């Protein structure tokens, strides 16, 4: 059998419930592109409130990295933020769980989003696997989250530090994501097409019969992978939005090919979930593995 993962990467940590305003020396938060304010989610969404090379009122968020991961202006991170410090730690803990369960991937695919590349690279570094990361634009999340167009995603030069396989020919180009106004039906079809494409390539591989494929993408990717590969269902726009609440950061969906069975079989117990206090990487299985809605004739 061959195995596949669809994992969700970490987004920015939430700002404190009642943040206070500070004026600080931000000189330690620097990069080649200038001072980095380490702002909160709210500040980062406002291009007028961040990216200025001076001290100003901010809501400090120590969960953000002290150094920008790639060399580009701070405002260019709007829409494509870096992984948080806890997100990086979480990715490494998940990798240790994968290693202990002997789920070391032979191939790694990632959404072109920066946080996904960082997550994939963190997992790869702990597993010490030889596979380089294949950046696949078709795995990017639903485009209606970006009404003003694609964010400034890492260029080939900027993502080189993440051990990317630049020899990989993607199923879709980033420019293809901008063709037309993507609908929920379009997004369902895009994710289904790329997952089936990946499956077809590696199921007939002459190299290894049982290949483990790691896919690092988004919450909605996890939901759609379960729907199209294991439950033969599509997700509505409302369900795609719900996936962001039902599928926490660091969730792992393991799908396996089992001889004698059609389709893919979910394995919910292969890799232990990570829990701390009231937080967990376990997704809502009743939501993710729901059956398709039956239409009465």
Tell me which residue of 48, 50, 56 sits closest to 22, measured CA to CA. 56
User: Out of 40-49, 78-87, 171-180, which region has the weakest mean confidence (pLDDT)?
Assistant: 40-49
Residue 214, judged by CB atoms within 10 A of its CB (0-12, 13-18, 19+), counts as buried
The mean pLDDT value for 49-75 works out to: 67
Please give the pLDDT value at position 65: 85
Joined together, the tokens standing for residue 85 give 């410090």
Class of the CATH domain delimited by 3-12+83-288: alpha beta
The better pLDDT of the pair 45, 208 is held by 208
The string of pLDDT tens digits covering residues 212-232 is: 999 999 999 999 999 999 999
Please give the pLDDT value at position 9: 55
73, 91 contact by CB (below 8 A) = no
Check whether 40 has a pLDDT greater than 50. no
Residue 263 is classified by DSSP as S
Tell me if residue 145 falls in helix, strand or coil: helix
Domain ranges of the chain: 3-12+83-288
The mean pLDDT value for 186-208 works out to: 87
**Other C-beta atoms within 10 Å of 275: how many?**
10
Q: What's the mean pLDDT when you consider all of the chain?
A: 82
Check whether 60 has a pLDDT greater than 70. no
Check whether 16 has a pLDDT greater than 80. no
Check whether 21 has a pLDDT greater than 90. no
Q: Give the pLDDT band of residue 297 (cuts 50, 70, 90).
A: low
Please give the pLDDT value at position 296: 65
Please give the pLDDT value at position 5: 61
User: Out of 42-56, 58-72, 82-96, 211-225, which region has the weakest mean confidence (pLDDT)?
Assistant: 42-56
Check whether 45 has a pLDDT greater than 90. no
CA 169 to chain centre: 20
Check whether 108 has a pLDDT greater than 90. yes
Please give the pLDDT value at position 209: 65
Query: Strands 3-8, 212-217: parallel, antiparallel or unpaired by DSSP?
Result: parallel
76, 152 contact by CB (below 8 A) = yes
Please give the pLDDT value at position 277: 85
Q: Give the pLDDT band of residue 67 (cuts 50, 70, 90).
A: confident
Tell me which residue of 28, 179, 213, 206 sits closest to 107, measured CA to CA. 213
What angle, rounded to 10 degrees, do the helices at 114-127 and 85-100 form? 40
The string of pLDDT tens digits covering residues 237-279 is: 999 999 999 999 999 999 998 877 778 999 999 999 999 888 8
Check whether 71 has a pLDDT greater than 70. yes
Ramachandran region, residue 144 (left: φ > 0; alpha: ψ -120 to 50; beta: rest):
alpha
Tell me if residue 31 falls in helix, strand or coil: strand
The mean pLDDT value for 138-163 works out to: 95
Residue 37, judged by CB atoms within 10 A of its CB (0-12, 13-18, 19+), counts as buried
């Amino acid at each position: 059998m061959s195995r596949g993962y669809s994992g969700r990467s970490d987004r920015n940590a939430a700002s404190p419930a009642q943040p206070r305003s500070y004026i600080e020396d931000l000189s330690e938060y620097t990069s080649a592109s200038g001072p980095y304010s380490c702002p909160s989610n709210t500040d980062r969404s406002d291009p007028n409130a961040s990216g200025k090379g001076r001290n100003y009122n901010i809501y400090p968020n120590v969960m953000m990295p002290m150094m920008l991961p790639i060399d580009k202006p701070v405002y260019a991170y709007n829409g494509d933020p870096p992984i948080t410090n806890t997100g990086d730690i979480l990715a490494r803990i998940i990798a240790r769980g994968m290693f202990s369960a002997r789920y070391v991937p032979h191939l790694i695919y990632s959404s072109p989003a920066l946080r996904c590349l960082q997550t994939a690279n963190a997992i790869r570094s702990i597993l010490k696997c030889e596979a380089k990361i294949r950046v696949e634009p078709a795995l990017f999340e639903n485009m209606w989250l970006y009404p003003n167009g694609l964010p400034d995603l890492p260029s080939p030069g900027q993502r080189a530090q993440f051990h990317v396989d630049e020899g990989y020919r993607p199923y879709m180009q980033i420019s293809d994501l901008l063709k037309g106004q993507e609908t929920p039906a379009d997004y369902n079809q895009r994710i289904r097409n790329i997952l089936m494409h990946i499956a077809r390539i590696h199921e007939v591989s002459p190299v290894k019969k049982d290949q483990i494929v790691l896919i690092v993408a988004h919450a909605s990717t996890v939901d759609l992978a379960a729907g199209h590969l294991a439950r033969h269902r599509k997700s509505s726009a409302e369900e795609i939005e719900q996936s962001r609440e039902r599928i926490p950061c660091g969730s792992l969906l393991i799908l396996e090919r089992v001889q004698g069975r059609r389709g893919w079989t979910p394995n919910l117990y292969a890799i232990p979930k990570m829990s701390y206090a009231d937080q967990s990487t376990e997704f809502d299985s009743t939501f993710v593995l729901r059956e398709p809605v039956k239409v009465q004739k």
